[in-house]
Structure 1
Amino acid sequence: MGLAGCHIPWNDPYPAGTTAKPILLRAFSAPPKHLDPVMSYSSNEWGIISQIYEPPLQYAYLKQPYTLEPLTLTRMPDVRYLNEKGQETTRDRAAFSEYTLHLRGDVRYQPHPAFLAPNRELSAERIAQLTTPYELPTGSRALTADDYAYAIKRMGVRAYQSPILDTMMAHIVGLKKYSENVSQAYEKLKETRSGGGFFDLRPYAIEGVQVVDTQTLKIRIKGVYPQFLYWLSMNFFAPIAWEVDAFYSQPGMKEKNLSLDTWPVGTGPYMLVENNPNFRMRLMPNPNFHAESYPCEASEGVSRALLDDCDQPLPRNGGVLYTLEKESVPYWNKFMQGYYDASGVSSDAFDQAVQLSSSGNIGLTPIMQEKGIRFLGGVQPTIMYFGFNMVDPVIGGLGENQRALRQAVSIALNMEEYISIFLNGRGVAAQGPLPPGIFGYEPPPVGINPFVYRWENGQLVRRSLDEARALLEKAGYANGIDPATGKPLKLYFEAVGASPDDQARLAWLRKQFAKLGIDLVIRATDYNRFQDKMRQGKGQIFMWGWNADYPDPENFLFLLYGKNGVVATGGNGVNYANYANPEFDRLFEQMQTLPNGPERLRMIRTMVHIVQQDAPWVFGFYPRALALYHHWYHNAWPNMMANNTTKYLRVDAAERVERIRQWNEPNRSALWIGLAALLGMGAGAIWLYRRRQQQRAREEGGSC
């Protein structure tokens, strides 16, 4: 009764008072593997580290088309075009492009023990006592141009496994040579220092990276590459203080799970203060965060209500509490109870949350509307695909037989059915690697994948299973039989997750292959092991996804560029299919530096046709995003490019507390009925017990 008087709901999953704080309440479905920006490239990881780190540029939150703006810079980078002798020239004659970054002078790092010299020389005994870095005294310092240079130097150490190293070596002058030298030096250091130690990158230099002064950095790249500005908005180019590298390099730190991979250190609006990835993670505002205000400009079509916080200081909330929720049903239930501010919509909850009009438009059900829940939606600049490992002896290769096998599977995997069953229609079947909204994407009939679909009477029609079986026979597997064994061909799918939803998807997938007589064997593992397997090129068939890092076709087509293959790069590339077609690669190298226009579009059309024919992927689907959020959750906007948007969000904690109280009142009548039933059962049990005791006493008395 005392708890009820304090209005603390009986089912509150948080420590007392949590929901009354102006913090965001979020969930994550799997522990992030990497929080070190040099190697992190997964969306679940970027959702956290993008709130902590600050690359030079960011996307304007409320502007469309997507627009870059300075983040830690005083203005957008100055760009000069140079000839072979380093003399200024015109864009069309440029051998090099030089980007000059002018840093703000008011940016400081979050409090962290690395910035106090004694903490970089800790005893083994003291390190052994640590569970978090924040058990030590903390310091800070100003951001400098050296920190951005140091981040690029870390990228070049091959052992750090940056997934974009090979991509950047093709652009940043001198990075390839630097990487070869510094990687050798690192390996030698490992041999001489078995217990670890600080590998100081400050003495090493990259020809194309020049620190002019504490606030000025120059980066020289080869030729003309306009997309480089997009890269400067990504976490790979976030600053790293050498002191932090030195702090975490102390012997014994790794054994205590203390590293940049677990405890990031940045200049952004938040700092990670709790990291228990199997339960809970927590961001708190960085007390040293520089001045930044909520935007006052928005593109046409953006609700004016999103400008209510115009010019207010960021962040607009008091932090983020992330809780691990492996299952979609508990997550959804807690959202409906008010314990999460926002949620996606799982298949199980779709009918409860969403109603479709006769024209296919999405709306919310009366239940959602009564709760004041709102939604945001749209086709994402994302592709989900089934990949074939092109170095696999069975499913890979560019021979006619292997190509026919992959084309047959591409037809058999009915993505329209998948979207209907598992996504409740929230997706668009993909015809190629480029999603809507990216230059080069063309809707059917122009952009149709002719190897999987036909265009009939103004509609897209999937080719028949008979056509797929004919391709399978051409591949040498008539009726799905492997001539080497006389039994159904076995193919292997690398799976992640073991939830009921996952099992249903896998059962569906096996059924699709069975239509061709193929036996699909599921090899299940956890997400981190799956990532390792993919980087080693050991999988055969897998499902993968790609969110656009920047709104340019290069950012999708480079997933199929041969020199980005994970096997070719020793696990550092992003081409997980290990696809390598010389003609595609040649066109890619020409296309990536061209401005959007007819010539670039012609090249992209040819490239898309090549991969449609080679079929290194089953081009799965482009997801339709649908996010629900409560009435107390403000400033939500679907900027699909920006990852650092947490700072703009605001919650009305008082409203949240009141709604939670209303929605989670215990059913007292049911309680009283239950209590009465228990009391009745108890009284009956007591009566029965006494009766048995009396009966026993009479029996014993009779025997005397």
Structure 2
Amino acid sequence: MTADALPPGPNRRQWLQTAAGLGLAPGWAAGAESEKVLRIAFATAETGFDPTQVNDIYSRSVTAHIFEALYAFDHLARPARIKPLTADGMPQVSDDFRSWTFRVRPGIFFADDAAFGGRRRELVAEDYVYAIKRYADPKLKSPLWGYTESYGLLGLAEARQRAIDGKRPFDYDSPVEGLRALDRYTLQIRLREPRPRFLDFIAASDLYGALAREVVEHYGEQVSEHPVGTGPFLLAQWRRASRIVLVRNPQYRERVYDAEPAADDAEGQALLARFKGRRLPMVDRVEIDIVEEAQPRWLAFLNGEHDHIDRVPPEFISQAVVGNDLAPHLVKRGVQGRRTLRADYYASFFNMDDPLVGGYTPDKVALRRAISLGMDIEREIRVVHRGQGLACQSPYCPHSTAWRPDYKSEMGDFDPARAQALLDLYGYVDRDGDGWREQPDGSPLRMVWSIESNQRARQLSEQYLRDMTRLGLRLEFKVGKWPELVKAARAGQFQVWHIGNQAATPDSLGQLTRYDSRQLGSQNFARFKRPEMDVLFDRLARLPDGPERLAGFAEAARIAAVWMPYRVRFHTIQTWLAHAPVIGYRPPPFWQEWWHMVDVVR
């Protein structure tokens, strides 16, 4: 199944009643008098809207519509293609991929805000310099610093270290060799090592969008509550973990719908024909409710309280899909839908610093591999996720460069007999006859797995308990809210947890940040530290695309399976639905921005 694959069957056309608006009511043209509102739901609460502080997909979905990077992904191009957003053309790149020069397009302005003292504030190159420097500020403790530093901007890490060593504030006014505004509109970035795919890094509006220094200094520690960018929307309302409202940015520049779908992409060509030249955004308002439990989220969609659901909760998939076709009751109501294998994975991970499940000695490796072999992922997919998943074999997301649908590894094995043999071999045996294994030194073996406080997590806990009991491993659960568990995981205060990973670019290297020891506390939740993986990560970052790089990705997958800091479990089969008023939705494979690219006609 490809990123835009449609299920087969006699009603295949029902699934094609999507963005092109086939068969939908007329009256979509610009100039409609009523306010156009897109209503959606998040399954998990946001954490905030300061790009340096967020790393969850829900918060980043919001920031991607407020801030703007120099470049963006073409909304319709498949495979993905990057094009200018606030940049004036493509960058000038040195032959060795170490020097990148960008030109900011003049005449782009930030949204009006009190921080600007009543004057219009033009976007300039220095705003990107400042935004990137903030990731290096030790006071902010950005979870994305490790990822930012991995690209090796000359002098940026040294500037951070000077602030740490001197125990003084980060000096935003001191020049950084690899991050300079050459003039008002010209940005130059110089790197320690070649980075052929650096454009992927700079094209993330949710992370590296322009930020005005005046806004940060005006709002101080409350800047997360006052995101001000150059993007199509403004934050109008925010009740934490409850409701988020964005409204059209009235100062948004003249930007129109344009894209370059492949010539043989019928759906993309139909969308382009319908919307080309329409001013963006096409909706006036986006209302987001936080609905963590699956049942109320599904019922809200059925009742028309939400226009779009990006993933039908697995518990209700049989109500949405019959065989391979959209359910007749939804077809009758004009609901649109599609199934897609998402560029993601869900993984359980071990705290490699924990004295019980962490460590690199043979007995600790054996324990993690036994736990992984004892996890019945196919049953989890079938029972908990109602078949809406594909078992993982590697740490790579579908549709990214290193993912191979025919690849097979121990990462995908379920073999409780081998798991029990491993535990026996390394001394994890039941010494006192109570039915539970002890550690090799005879001390109790009690694992504590973190779990969220929602219905899906409760189902998962039942699955985990079943799997570990089969192996004779005692398991307890620490229940908490998502933001609390994220904070604890970043601080290394956990034993085992699970998390999702969605690819942000077509390149698979981003998925290996989970294994990069320089990204502990940020992308590397497992706190995994192996020099051979760090060396390989750096080599893969430097190499151009080709057979040598693919071989390196294969070696990284082998290392991941050997040490097993993560048990990568499944990729999501996403079934999205939208009510008839939503016209133009096409699921983006890697990026988060799309709210401004759809129309809503009621």
Tell me whether 1:274 sits opposite 2:237 in the alignment.
yes
Conservation of the 8 A alpha-carbon contact between 1:488 and 1:517? no
Moved more, 98-107 or 30-39: 30-39
Q: How many residues align?
A: 559
What CA distance in whole angstroms lies between the structure 2 residues aligned with 1:611 and 1:639? 28
Q: Quick check: 2:348–2:498 contact (8 Å CA) kept in 1?
A: yes
Kindly report which structure 2 residues correspond to 1:342-491, keeping only aligned pairs within 5 A, or say none.
342-343=308-309, 344-356=311-323, 362-444=324-406, 447-450=407-410, 453=413, 462-463=414-415, 465-478=416-429, 480-483=436-439, 489-491=445-447
Question: Offset of 1:485 from its aligned partner?
Answer: 8.5
Among 271, 279, 303, the alignment partner of 1:306 is 271
Question: What percent identity do the matched residue pairs reach?
Answer: 26
**Residue in structure 2 matched with residue 54 of structure 1 by the alignment:** 68
Secondary structure at the residue paired with 1:323?
strand
Q: CA deviation at 1:487?
A: 7.9
Letter in 1 for 2:102: L
C-alpha contact 1:148 1:239 (8 A) present in aligned 2: yes
Aligned equivalent of 2:46, options 32, 38, 45: 32
State the Cα distance separating 1:211 from its structure 2 match. Answer: 1.0
Larger RCO of the pair (alpha carbons < 8 Å, separation 6+): 2
Pairing partner for 1:556 from 511, 532, 535 = 511
Partner in structure 2 of residue 217 of structure 1: 187
Partners of 1:108 and 1:610 in 2: CA distance: 47
**Partner of 1:135 in structure 2?**
none
2:201 is matched with which residue?
231
1:506-559 CA-partner distances (Å, limit 9, x unpaired): 112111111101111100111111111111111110101111121112111121
Using the alignment, how far apart are the partners of 1:448 and 1:487 within structure 2?
A: 36
Deviations 1:536-584 (A, max 9, x none): 1111101011111211121111211122222xxxxxx311111122222
Q: Write the distance in 2 (CA, Å) between the matches of 1:475 and 1:538.
A: 26
Q: Do residues 179 (structure 1) and 160 (structure 2) align?
A: yes
Secondary structure of the corresponding residue to residue 348 of structure 2: strand
* 1:518 alignment partner in structure 2: 473
Aligned partner of 1:515: which letter?
R
User: Match of 2:575, SS?
Assistant: strand
Give, in whole Å, the separation in 1 of the partners of 2:331 and 2:279: 31
Which one has the largest radius of gyration?
1
8 Å contact from structure 2 (residues 393, 411) kept in 1: no
The alignment yields a C-alpha RMSD, in angstroms, of 1.9
1:23 and 2:37 equivalent? Answer: yes
Q: Deviations over 1:654-676 (max 9, x none)?
A: xxxxxxxxxxxxxxxxxxxxxxx
Q: CA deviation at 1:450?
A: 3.3
CA contact (8 A) 1:296 1:311 kept: no
Write out per-residue CA displacement over residues 180-233 of structure 1, whole angstroms, 9 at most, x where no aligned residue.
124456x535xxxxxxxxx8x542221111211111111111221022111111
Alignment equivalent of 1:150, drawn from 107, 116, 130 = 130
Residue identity opposite 2:265 in structure 1: G
Structure 1 runs not aligned, ≥5 long: 1-18, 82-90, 117-137, 190-198, 357-361, 454-461, 567-572, 654-704
SS in 2 for 1:188: coil
CA distance 1:353–1:487, change in 2 (3 Å): farther
Give the conservation status (yes or no) of the 8 Å contact 1:54–1:267.
Answer: yes
**Aligned residue number for residue 334 of structure 1:** 300
What is the aligned partner in structure 1 of residue 492 from structure 2? 537
Please tell me whether residue 647 in structure 1 is matched to residue 596 in structure 2: yes
Asked if the contact 2:397/2:503 (under 8 Å) is kept, the reply is: no
- Compute the TM-score of the two structures, normalised by the length of structure 2: 0.89
Instruction: For residue 222 of structure 1, give the secondary structure of its aligned residue in structure 2.
Output: coil
**For residues 59 and 525 of structure 1, what CA distance do their matches in structure 2 show?**
36
- Identify which range, 295-304 or 240-249, moves more after superposition: 295-304
Matches within 5 A, 1:202-213: 202-213=172-183
Correspondence for 2:7: none
Structure 1 CA distance, aligned partners of 2:377 and 2:313? Answer: 18
Deviation at 1:484, TM superposition (A): 6.9
Distance in 1, Cα, partners of 2:411 & 2:249: 53
Counterpart amino acid of residue 593 in structure 1? R
Could you state the TM-score of these two structures normalised by the residue count of structure 1?
0.77
1:496 corresponds to: 452
- Check conservation: 2:392, 2:411, Cα contact below 8 A: no
Secondary structure, in 3 states, of the residue corresponding to 2:292?
A: coil
Mark the CA change 1:379 to 1:103 in structure 2 (over 3 Å): closer, same or farther.
same
Amino acid at match of 1:558: T
> Does the residue aligned with 1:313 lie in a helix, a strand or coil?
coil
Q: Give the match's secondary structure for 1:143.
A: coil
Residues 335/236 of structure 1: CA separation in 2 closer, same or farther (3 Å cut): closer
Aligned 8 A contact 2:91 2:100 in 1 = yes
Can you give the 5+ residue segments of structure 2 that lack an aligned partner in the other structure?
1-32, 431-435
Determine if contact 1:488/1:518 at 8 Å carries over to the other structure. no
Secondary structure in 1 matching 2:532: helix
Once the two structures are superposed, what CA deviation does each residue of 1:59-95 show, in whole Å capped at 9, x if it has no partner?
A: 00000111111100111111124xxxxxxxxx3xxxx
1:451–1:613: 8 Å Cα contact kept in structure 2?
Answer: no
Instruction: For 1:612 and 1:286, locate their aligned partners in 2 and report how far apart those are by CA, in whole Å.
Output: 47
> Structure 1 residues 202, 605: closer, same or farther in 2, change over 3 A?
closer
Q: Secondary structure at the match of 1:345?
A: coil
The corresponding residue for 2:13 is none
Q: CA deviation at 1:603?
A: 1.5
Q: Deviations over 1:227-252 (max 9, x none)?
A: 21111111332111111111013xxx
Contact in 2 for aligned 1:156/1:183 (Cα 8 Å): no
SS state at 2:586 partner: coil
Distance verdict in 2 for CA 1:452–1:346, change over 3 Å? closer
**Distance (whole Å) between structure 2 residues aligned to residue 232 and residue 387 of structure 1:** 29
How far, CA to CA, are the matches of 1:469 and 1:277 in structure 2?
45
**Contact 1:373/1:631 (CA < 8 Å) preserved in 2?**
yes
Report the counterpart of residue 661 of structure 1 in structure 2. none
CA offset at residue 475 of structure 1? 2.9
Would the aligned equivalents of 2:91 and 2:101 in 1 still touch at CA under 8 Å?
yes
Any conservation in 2 of the 1:494–1:540 contact (CA below 8 Å)?
A: yes
Q: Say whether the 8 Å CA contact 1:427–1:622 is kept in structure 2.
A: yes
- Structure 2 vs 1, CA of residues 553 and 278 (structure 1 numbering), >3 Å: closer, same or farther? closer
- The corresponding residue for 1:141 is 121
Matched, 1:316 2:282: yes
Write the distance in 2 (CA, Å) between the matches of 1:240 and 1:260: 11
Q: 1:638 corresponds to which residue?
A: 587
